[in-house]
Structure 1
Amino acid sequence: MAIYDGEPIRRAVAELTRFLGASVDDPGFLADPHRCLTPRIRSRPVHRLPGGALAVLGHAACAEVLRDARFGHGAGNLYETTLLGLPARSFLQMDTPGHTRLRGQVARHFSVRRIQGLAQNLAHDSAALSRRCAGRPGDFVTDFAEPLAMTVISDVLGVPPEDRTAFHRDARLVIQGLDQPARTTDERAIAQARFRFVRYFRRQIQARRQAPREDLVSTLLHRPDGSMADDREVVTTCSLLLSAGYDTTVSLLSQAVAELDGAPSGQGWAMASNPWTADAVVEEVLRLQSPVQVAPRAAVRDTALDGLPVARGTIVLPLLAAANRDPDVFDTPHAFRPGRYLDPAGTGPAAARHLAFGAGAHFCLGAALARATARGALSVLAACPPRLNGASRTYHEGVVVRGLRSLPVTWPGRPSGTPPSRPAGGAGAHAAPSCPVAHPQRSST
């Protein structure tokens, strides 16, 4: 049985917000929740909240919690129930050995060859979206980030083109249902979408039992030992990839555009367009604007952390956003400085020390794909970057996952050149279309 369920986590997160002296209803906090963390980090890396949970702010302490088997989730089986009788919905809420087996099956699908193939499609999709938006005011989140993220996750899940209109409609509602305000306003539509989502993948499972393909459903269904997975295992894993991959990709792309637009004299976009420095831009956005702010855990046995006793079952909240702005690890932690991820010669990436993708056994399985998605999309956008038009941006309410709800921009005119075609498969990346806007080629931002 899992040693915690969703309700204790929600209570602990609510306490965490009060501990920071803020509220998710405050637009100022949503716009910049990070600066209020700095005094707390400097005073102590680990704090005990009034209800007993631990808020872990320091980089070293967060890394310890994420990597150490003393802290986990407590569920060893995919269908074990929590204290409220709710199912452990995916391997994300599991510990070894069940987590190791299911994660390994998904990892087989995220090979270098498959990620390269997805990146090849990404060049076409990014160019097509930017051309469709050209020459008008709009919103980057709804115009570009959301449709691109949905296309990427559809490619990952193997949804064929003829199914995508209906799938996208239902998938958006399923994801929307993870947001508490949405769940109260459109509960019936969301419940119906969840039903259709499960039914769709059950049909795909039955088809793959008869005729396997080189897609995720077939990979999950046919285990390495020759046995067949049951339907629930495949459906819950597909649901996890949808919910975990979509919002975080939208957040990463949107925050990247916001940061690059604010960099002086177009230097940020110049770095994004340069193959030698594009990775540094992506890593700095991940550090500075971590899509996942909190990665809840619980103590699986009596232990201690930073000198504080921790009883078995205690909720532990590693704040990735705080760890990634720990002034003992990162100079000028609140500044956008991609150059921190370049080697001294400025010719390539240096090691990334941030925890945006977590660490240890639960290190984000889609990290390589997320990086490839951001790098590919930004290289296309850098040819003719969208410009923030001064209108107010808004953020989703929440503490665990943070993202922009809207980012008003003005799209430039249609870029010159021929857009890349969307291949059926293969590897490699297409060049971005050229744009009649001059940018410096190198920068030390």
Structure 2
Amino acid sequence: MAAREGEPIRQAVEELTCFLGMRLEDPAFLADPYQCLTPAVRERPVHVLPSGAVAVLGHHACSHVLRDGAFGQGAGELYEMTLLGLRARSLLQLDPPGHTRLRSRIARHFSTRRVHGLAESVSAHSNALLRQCPQGPGDFVPDFAEPLAMSVISDVLGVAHEHRTAFHRDARLVVQGLDQPARSTDDRAIAQARFRFMHYFHQRIKAWDGTARDSSLNALLEGPEDGTRDIREVITTFSLLLSAGYDTTVSLLSHTLAEVSGAPCGRGWALARDPGRIDAVVEEVLRLHSPAQVAPRAAVRDTVVEGVKVARGTIVLPLLAAANRDPAVYDEPDAFRPERHLASGPAAARHLAFGAGAHFCLGAALARLTAQHALTVLADRPPQLTRQPRLYQNNVVVRGLRSLPVTWPPHHESAPATSSAGAPLLAAPACPAPAE
């Protein structure tokens, strides 16, 4: 029987978790995958697994792999077979020149200028959701994070309001499909969700007349110089942007709320209310809780990483989650310390939450803006974390919360952030002021 598509990556990830002393099915691993980053594991930044696959944990080594053209996917166009054993279906699986061609056509739609133009819309969505959140027990993920992420990415891609409920349902399944190389999933449900995505976008393409101003659809459909157009490319790219942008933003929003609300003495909300520091809060959450935990690559030619020889075709697993907590780069790597991002020069190590190099996340500016404006709105009515357990998605590549129980304060007052025991944090005099 032929091996399932993506099997080599799945085997490599399973080997990696065994090496780290964890199991993919273990709830403790999903809740805290960082506990396996022991000093013994950290002793070397690069490890060769039994199958020959290479795990990369160090910040410098991960940055090298992500930026070096010696590592990629092995496919230059969609629908080719990659060196990772996958059929290329999106930008994520492409190397130049195909990757460069497709990315350049959509990148301007995610430019800093255009993203900043969405700030008012993001704040409006956030305020509307906050007004809908009832007083008392709630769950931040379905109450706020998921609908906000869906509204923002749907605005960008022009998804009609009447279709967004269905997209909310299907986006999670399609994102699970992105996680398929690392974990077995319900292939039938994923295939059905992909089909619905394809059908929706195909209908939009049929109705396209090129008149929509600054439309992402225009960016992909306004033909290349030779007049040809691959409709499959357009549908595939839209599906990727919607699904990947949605789930990673939910992860960022949820972990941001958890870290800010859980910070002692109200420091998290104090920082969130400071316009000069709110961006540092978001960067620290990205470092601590990288939405994408691993970014599989393959060596497209013989090369070397940190003295380890890597032959062409070898699967390479850069662990972004490990790189962003590298003790050789970050003091107290597991601590929530937003002030570290206020430094400049060599002391300001760049995290790799959005990747690096040719595949640096297209939606990075949009994710940052969404988190910053949502946090600003939430600071006026901050929810309180409860003692109920948090639940995580059963994913490996994209890590995120699926349940974050909170208590929403009354609508008529801006309640101060409180501890899980109910004591006001902002009023605690024994806590020192936030570090400069």
TM-score for both structures, normalised by structure 1: 0.87
1:31-110 equivalent positions in 2, closer than 5 A: 31-82=31-82, 87-110=87-110
- Tell me what 1:137 maps to: 137
Superposition deviation, residue 226 in structure 1: 7.2
Please name the residue that 2:353 is paired with: 356
Which letter does structure 1 place at the counterpart of 2:338? Answer: P
The 8 Å contact of residues 395 and 402 in structure 1, kept in 2 or not, is answered as: yes
Q: Give the 5 Å matches for 1:110-149.
A: 110-149=110-149
Change (3 A) 1:141 1:67: same
* Residues 143-176 of structure 1: CA deviation (Å, up to 9, x unaligned): 1111111111111211122433444344344445
Structure 2 letter corresponding to 1:393: R
> 2: distance between equivalents of 1:24 and 1:211?
48
1:22 aligns with 2:19: no
Distance 1:62 1:174, change over 3 A: closer
Distance in 2, matches of 1:322 and 1:40, equals: 13
Q: Give % identity.
A: 66
**AA matched with 2:393:** H
Structure 2 CA distance, aligned partners of 1:331 and 1:42?
15
Distance 2:176 2:71 in 1: 30
Output the CA distance in 2 between the equivalents of 1:188 and 1:182. 12
Helix, strand or coil at the partner of 1:34: helix
- Deviating more after overlay: 199-208 vs 357-366: 199-208
> How many pairs were matched up?
416
Give the unaligned 5+ runs of structure 2.
418-425, 428-432
Indicate how the Cα distance of structure 1 residues 55 and 32 shifts in structure 2: closer, same or farther if over 3 A, else same: same
1:211-226 equivalences under 5 Å are 211-223=211-223, 225=225
Q: Which of 374, 382, 386 lines up with 1:385 in the alignment?
A: 382
Q: Is the alpha carbon distance of 1:415 and 1:66 closer, same or farther for their aligned partners in structure 2, counting shifts above 3 Å?
A: farther
Q: How many Å apart are 1:190 and its aligned residue?
A: 4.6
Matches of 1:51 and 1:87 in 2, distance apart?
Answer: 22
8 Å CA contact 1:221–1:228 kept in 2: the answer is: no
Q: How far apart are the structure 2 equivalents of 1:183 and 1:30?
A: 16
Among 353, 363, 387, the residue aligned to 1:366: 363
Q: Which moved more, 1:89-98 or 1:28-37?
A: 28-37
- The one-letter amino acid paired with 2:121 is N
Q: Closer, same or farther in 2 for the Cα pair 1:224/1:275, shift >3 Å?
A: farther
Aligned 8 A contact 2:284 2:338 in 1: yes
Determine the C-alpha separation between the residues in 1 that align with 2:395 and 2:162: 35
Q: In the superposition, relative to structure 1, how do residues 287 and 147 fare at CA in structure 2: closer, same or farther (>3 Å)?
A: same
Residue by residue over 1:220-248, the C-alpha shift from the partner in whole angstroms, topping out at 9 and shown as x without a partner, is 11146473532111100011112221111
- CA deviation map 1:285-337 (0-9, x unaligned): 00011111111111101112121211100000011111111111000001000
Matched, 1:409 2:406: yes
* Ranges in structure 1 where 5+ consecutive residues have no aligned partner: 345-349, 417-434
Shift in CA distance, 24/69, structure 1 to aligned 2, threshold 3 Å? same
Deviation at 1:351, TM superposition (A): 4.3
In 2: Cα distance, 1:273 partner to 1:320 partner: 29
* Aligned equivalent of 1:295: 295
- Give the 3-state SS of the residue equivalent to 1:443 in structure 2: coil
Distance in 2 (CA, whole Å) between partners of 1:31 and 1:216 is: 36
Q: Cα distance 1:52–1:225, how it changes in 2: closer, same or farther (>3 A)?
A: same
Are the aligned partners of 2:286 and 2:353 in contact in 1 as well (CA < 8 Å)? yes
Q: Is the 8 A contact 2:55 2:318 kept in 1?
A: yes
SS of the equivalent of 2:117 reads: helix
Are 2:393 and 1:396 aligned? Answer: yes
- CA pair 222-352 structure 1, distance change in 2 beyond 3 A: farther
Match of 2:160 in 1: 160
Answer yes or no: is the 8 Å Cα contact 1:297–1:315 preserved in 2.
yes
Q: Is 1:444 matched with 2:425?
A: no
Shift of 1:69: 0.6
Confirm or deny: 8 A CA contact 1:157 1:215 kept in the other structure.
Answer: yes
The residue type paired with residue 248 of structure 1 is T
For 1:144 and 1:122, the matched residues in 2 are separated by 12
Q: Offset of 1:209 from its aligned partner?
A: 4.2
Distance in 1 of aligned mates of 2:276 and 2:85? 51
Equivalent residues of 1:46, 1:55 under 8 A apart: yes
Normalised to the residue count of structure 2, the TM-score between the two structures is 0.89
Decide which moves more: 319-328 or 335-344: 335-344
